Structures are given as C-alpha cells and as structure tokens.
A and B are shown apart, each in its own frame.
Chain A
C-alpha cells in the first residue's frame, strides 16, 4: 500500500495515562460500522469520567477502524493512547495522521 509520507513521522498521542490521572478507556478490537454507536457511548463515558481533564482512549488492541468510528474519534478530541500498528496504518490510509497528531497534540506533552 502506498502510504502518505507523513505516516512515518506520526506519533498520535502516546501516553500511559489520560490527563487528570484517570485510566484510559480500552477500545474494542474492531471499530467497524456496527461498533460505531457503542463507541460513541464509550467515548461519552470516558469524557464523563475524565471530567474537566482530557479523556484517554487506549487503542492498543484495535485492529480495524472504519470510517464511522474514525469520525467519532476525530470529533471526540480524546487522546488516543498507545495506538497499535493497525491503527497507525488506518490513520495513514484515511489521511488523518497529521490531523490526529495535531488534534491530540496536547496529550503528547503529558
């Protein structure tokens, strides 16, 4: 697959813990169309849990991200923690590697 050149340099947000000290919510393995409604619910919970801080989503186990779940991740503004290789590839395929890095930049500094 021809990846965007930006792919290599992308480190979305790699952190062990979300802002505010709350444990990150672990994302399911498969984030396809069917998983989108549940993902929204999950993110809502994570955001509620994080309160004023920034919610973290542990993407280490994720093997597939579809278009609808990508939208939710982008809109949530949550930190994507320890993204798996598959997740990085998906971000690159969707052309959002840089966007994700930008959107989630603050979490990098944690």
Chain B
C-alpha cells in the first residue's frame, strides 16, 4: 500500500513542479504589466492545485502556506487587489517559499520558518488590503476538509482484500464504525452536547493562523445544525498582568459547547491543520462518550479546569499510551466479540488512529507531522503521448523492413542484391528516425531550468540590493534531459555573477545615463545542430584593466604579457581568478567561473565572452544537442580513421598550392576566397606524423572548420571516407583526456575511432602561432 502511496505522491510532486512552472510563467506575465484574467486564473489554479494535492497527503506546512497564498491571489482574481509591481514581487517571493515547501515535503530539506512567516505576513497584508478578502482567511479549515476525506478510503480499499478470504466475514463489522458518522449518527443521534476545549500554542500564531479560525470553524458546525447554537467560554486564567504579556505568546483557552448533532469527526476536521499547534479535547457533555479515542485525549475532566485542557501528545498517543490499547480493544470487541483475531486487530488499528485524528494524528503515512519525509525517488520524465506513438509506429515499420530484408536475403536472383541494398538503405533511414524519436522523448524544453533562474536573480538582487530584471527567450528550445539537468549549476553561477559583478550599482548606472533597473537576457536557441545559450547583461562590461592587473597579481599571466581583449576576457575563467575585493555571499570566491567552464566543457560545450565597456557582457554557451550521438565526417589522417563533427565542418575542398603561405615560424596560413586562416596538417598536429612535405600537401584535401565563436581553420586530411552517425563514448572515462580529442566511437567495422575536438585544435594551433610570433606572450590556458 505504501508503495502505491509513494507512487501517487511522486505524481503529485511532478504535478507540483508543473504547477510551479505555470505559476512562474503567470507571475512573469503579471510582472510585465499584463494582467489578463486568464493569467490570473492560471496563477490561482496553480496554487490551488498544489494546495489541494498537498491537503490530500496531509502536508500541513505546504497546505497552510498555499492557503494564505491562494487567499491573497483570490483578492487579485476578484479585482480587490491590483497587481502592482510590489504585489507581484510579494507573490514571486511567496512562490519561492512555496517551491521550497514542495522540496521540503519531497526531500526533507527544512525551510527556514522565518522566511515562511515573513512571506505569510506579506501575503496577509495583501489580503487585508483586499478588504472583503479577509473573510476568506477565516475559513481555513473548512476550505480543505473534503479533500483528505476523498483520499481516506484509499488505504481502506486495500485493507480488506487479504481478509476477504477469512472464514468469518463478520470480522469486517468494525470497518463501518469508522465511516458511519454521516448516516448512523443521524439515525441514532448522540445524546449530549459536544464539548470541545482547545488551547492554541504559540506556534499556531507563529504560522499565521489564529484561534479565531478554529472558533469560526466550530461556529459553522453549529450553524449547520437547524436551530443549533454554540456557547463559547474563554479561559483567560493564564493571562498575566498587561506588563507581563508577551504580545506573541498564547495565553487563552476556549471551551465550546456544540449541539448534540455535531459529530466528533467534523470537529476533528476543524482542527486537522492545527493538530500539532493546539491542545484539543472533545467530549460528550453527559459523559456518554460516543468516541472512545477522542475521549482518551480528554485526560483531565473539565470539572477541574473547565476551559484549560490538559496537554495532550497528539502524535504519540496512539502508539504509546496504554489507554489507546484499551481503545483498540474496545473497537475490536465491538467488532467481533468472539474472535479477537489478528485481522480484526489490524483493521481496528487504523480505525482508532483515524478517530484519534481529532487529537492530531495524521491518517496518512505520507503525512507524518505535516513535515516532510525523504523519499527515494526514481528519475522520471513526462512525455507527450504522440511522441511515444510516433516511436511505436517507427518500431512497427522497422519490424516490417527487417522481415523484407530477411526474405530478400533468401533470394538468389541478381535483382535481389539490388533490392537488398535498397532495403538496407531504408532500414538505415528508419534507424535514424527512431533515434530522433527517442531523442525527442528524452528532449525537454529548457523552460524548467530557465524559470528557476528567475529565482536565482531575485535572490541575488536581494543580497546585492540591486534591481535587475531577467528576461527569458527561447524557453521552448528542447535539449536532452541530461543536459537540462547539468545546465542548472553553471547557469546559476553565471547569473549570480552577472548580478553581482556585471550589473553596476544603481547610482553608478544612473551616473552612466542608464536606467536604474538592470537587465539580463537569458536566451536559448538551436544553432547548426547545437544549443546556443546566451546570458547578456547591460552592465559595465568587463573591466579589462582590472582583470589583467588581478591576473598578473595572482601569477596567472606573466607581468609583461601582451594579451588581446578576448584573451583578457577569458582570464576570468582561469582557475583561482577573482576580482572581487571581498568575498561576498554570492560570488567572489574565485572558483566559480573556472568551475563553470569545466562544467560546460564536460558537456561537450564551449563558453565565449563578448564584452563592451559600458554596454555589458555576453556569455555564449554552445552545447551539443545530445550527449549520445553525433553526425560526423569520417576522415583519414596519418593512417588513422577519425571523426570530425559535421557541425564544425564548413566546407571541404582540394588544395591549391598557390594559396598556402609560409609564416616566419614555419607555420602556414591558407587564403580561401580572400580570407586567411591557419593551415593545420591534422596528422602532424596530433603527433601522428611529421610535418607534411609540399608534395604531400598537394594531394591532400582540406576541410574548413569553424569553432563556436566563428574562428576558422583549414584542416589538412588525407581523405574523406564517409559521413555517418556515431555513438559517442567518453574517452575521459575509459582512458584519459587527450588534447584535441573530445571523445571516441566504435565504427561499423568494430574499430575504435577518435572524435576530434575542432575548437581545441584551432585554439592549440592559434596559440602556438601566437607564441611563435611573439615569444614574450605567455598566457595560461
């Protein structure tokens, strides 16, 4: 059963993620000043869905906060609250808290109560500005009651199954006891009035709730009975003199007498959300205790202290106290006096626990204390059904193609060979289609990661006291799931850096004639078979003078080094580089950008920086679409077959010897249609052969290749063999990193081939050329 519940819980968390995304999207639209009713409804629905689901699982903290959030959004929905930037900001903050509470429930990472309280107070301020909305806040418990009840039967449905084979079916008598509060109590009304006493703890108020809400809930119960009324007595015996009153401590207790028709269960429901923050007892006034377990909680008779209930230990009573065992016995005997068999006892146990929920136990396994418990979760993705259907169709076609090839291969006539080749051809294209379809299944929009970045920027802003807006573009760009996950950390760090170091302080911005509010654009898109992610800020740009000074001070470059602007920009990725005068909470430890670069490189990506002083900095991350397969060109160099990613190849041509020029250091450049580029004999660059002679070059083929920042080079290869899809196998994992080689693959003939890292090859060659031209240069890689 718990497995079933865990599954349902996992689905709930997935839905929460989706709803949070929906919420983020809606609030982003509101923040842009568009307040369409549809958007507001979507935002409201998102919070409402999370609240509803959380209530089903008894995730108290989540429900409580979501309710306040929802109430404040209700003000927005009804037009009482205007979505001013401040209001939206409060909502965004609340969304972060809500998201953390979901994480708390899922992973057990506790959320700072002060943050929850702070956000709650802000939300309540919005509720109160909404005027009439305040009434909404008063009906908290009523609002949720039906939801957990919907789920209640689930465990019970499963419970009876094994017992159904017991020879004595009467053993099931007790089950209705738990559920009969509706019909049976009316047919046979309890005789005395129901007396509820409760004393709120400080915690009740700390979490933004109020004793008033409980009283309102009880009053509604009384109002639900024809002619019924409620008598409330306040016990202020614990209230000290005014000077000694701590305004945030709870001193009062209440005794409420409800009409006889009101059931214990409905009272339980009223206190369902405050069970751990309130001492509650429920008794029938005339002593006829209809509910044994509830009576157990009433350890002290009211005669002694009518309005001051004895403290109860809500969550442990069932397990620990002796009287509860008695309660189980009572239920068990009532169920089947002659056979106190184990099935009965096991059925009775949840019953008594259920009944006891009035005192605070959560009926649900997932609900332990409303706080969260850590669950092992399997990674899973949600996929559009049509993608799966498409895949299934392709698999069907593959089966047909395979059968066709099989029958063709049995034929011996000459035409068969031709047809066989055709069949294999179509099988190849099918395989490719299937591969695309599988990749599409794994593909996810970067939206999830991007939207998380809104929060990163918000938090960075609040820490640095800056005002920065993050605009997202291309969130629908789809990337392989593994990439999506691995992008979060590097992006987080880069955005924090952009806020902390990129965007200037408000006064500096104003002095520079810029708007006070900084702007960061985070965009994604597909570009020539890769994903290009850019982070563009409108800050001050990289202070190259300072970067260079720092790099020299840290010994990263030689003091007399002459570096290009681009090289200076790239110094910020050097290990141990940091220009921050002090280490801030946010960034400035000098490990960040280095780690970012490593992370991107390990994904097969590249980082490029463009920075214009006074106008801002743009970081471009170029990443492969997938980490599994790439389209490559099979080439031969130095007697080895190697793979060059097709995405890097611009063109292929035969060499015209007249276009090759020799540089003073012995290196070559080639002029192709008027533009010069480094001329890299591949075999020699990889150390597989000596520098080729002019004779060798004359017969060679060149491939013009390009790196992400547009730098080109001409690779000299012996021949081009084929173009094929290759499966990427990590060479680092299986061997070690090799400069100029990004990975390896296994070809159709079973041989291992290296996949070349074009950017690294260009960089290495250009670096060598630079050094050769200017021996004083010595920049750390």
Give the B-binding residues of A (Cβ under 8 A). 1-5, 29-30, 32-34, 36-37, 39-40, 43, 47, 63-68, 70-72, 74-77, 90, 92-96, 99
Contacts and interface: CB of A to CB of B under 8 A. Distances in A.
Contact of A4 (B200, B232, B236, B240): B232
Nearest to A5: B229
Interface in B197-220: 200, 205, 208, 210-212, 215-216, 219-220
Contacts of A71: 236, 239, 245, 250-252
B773 interface: no
Contacts of A90: 212
A93 B205 contact: no
Given A71-B251, A93-B212, 6 more contacts: A1-B220, A2-B228, A3-B219, A33-B208, A75-B242, A92-B232
Nearest to A35: B247
30 contacts: A2-B223, A3-B219, A4-B229, A5-B229, A5-B231, A29-B128, A30-B134, A33-B205, A33-B208, A33-B210, A40-B247, A64-B134, A66-B212, A67-B250, A68-B247, A71-B239, A71-B250, A71-B251, A72-B242, A75-B240, A75-B241, A77-B242, A90-B212, A93-B215, A93-B219, A95-B215, A95-B232, A95-B256, A96-B236, A99-B234
B230 interface: yes
B233 interface: yes
Contacts of A2: 219, 222-223, 228-230
Contacts of A43: 242
B128 A30 contact: yes
Contacts of A74: 236, 239, 252
A90 B229 CA distance: 16
Contacts of A92: 232
A85 to B, nearest CB: 14
A71 B223 CA distance: 26
A29 B247 CA distance: 18
Given A2-B228, A99-B234, A32 B215 contact: no
A24 B413 CA distance: 112
Contacts of B251: 71
Nearest to A99: B234
A4 to B, nearest CB: 6
B654 interface: no
A3 B461 CA distance: 50
B254 A68 contact: no
Contacts of B128: 29-30, 32, 64
B187 interface: no
Q: Is the interface of A mostly helix, strand, loop or mixed?
A: helix
B298 interface: no
Interface of B: 121, 124-125, 128, 134, 200, 205, 208, 210-212, 215-216, 219-220, 222-223, 228-234, 236, 239-242, 245, 247-248, 250-252, 254, 256
Contacts of B124: 32, 34
Question: Lowest 8 CB-CB distances: which A-B pairs, in order?
Answer: A95-B232, A67-B211, A2-B229, A36-B247, A2-B222, A75-B242, A40-B247, A95-B234
Contacts of B200: 67
Nearest to A39: B247
A92 B234 CA distance: 10
A95 B242 CA distance: 20
Contacts of B241: 75
Residue of B231, B240, B245 with most partner-chain A CB within 10 A: B245
B199 to A, nearest CB: 11
Contacts, number: 105
A20 to B, nearest CB: 18
A18 to B, nearest CB: 16
A16 B231 CA distance: 31
B245 A75 contact: yes
B425 to A, nearest CB: 74
A54 to B, nearest CB: 13
Residue of A67, A93, A99 with most partner-chain B CB within 10 A: A67
A91 B401 CA distance: 82
Contacts of B210: 32-33, 66-68
Nearest to B241: A75
B232 A94 contact: yes
B248 A76 contact: no
B391 to A, nearest CB: 55
Contacts of B233: 95
B255 to A, nearest CB: 8
Contacts of B247: 36-37, 39-40, 68, 72
Contacts of A1: 216, 219-220, 223
A94 B212 contact: yes
A4 B257 CA distance: 10
Given A32-B210, A99-B234, A68 B240 contact: no
A94 B208 CA distance: 18
B230 A4 contact: yes
B364 to A, nearest CB: 28
A94 B215 contact: yes
Given A4-B230, A94-B215, A76 B242 contact: yes
Nearest to B128: A30
B254 A95 contact: yes
A90 B239 CA distance: 19
A76 B216 CA distance: 25
A89 to B, nearest CB: 10
Nearest to A103: B236
Contacts of A72: 242, 245, 247
A67 B134 contact: no
B220 A63 contact: no
B134 A75 contact: no
A6 to B, nearest CB: 9
A67 B219 contact: no
Contact of A67 (B212, B229, B240, B242): B212
Contacts of A47: 242
A66 B211 CA distance: 7
A77 B228 CA distance: 33
B205 A63 contact: no
Contacts of B232: 4, 92-95
A3 B236 contact: no
Given A32-B210, A63-B134, A94-B212, A37 B248 contact: yes
B216 A93 contact: yes
Contacts of B125: 34
Contacts of A32: 124, 128, 210
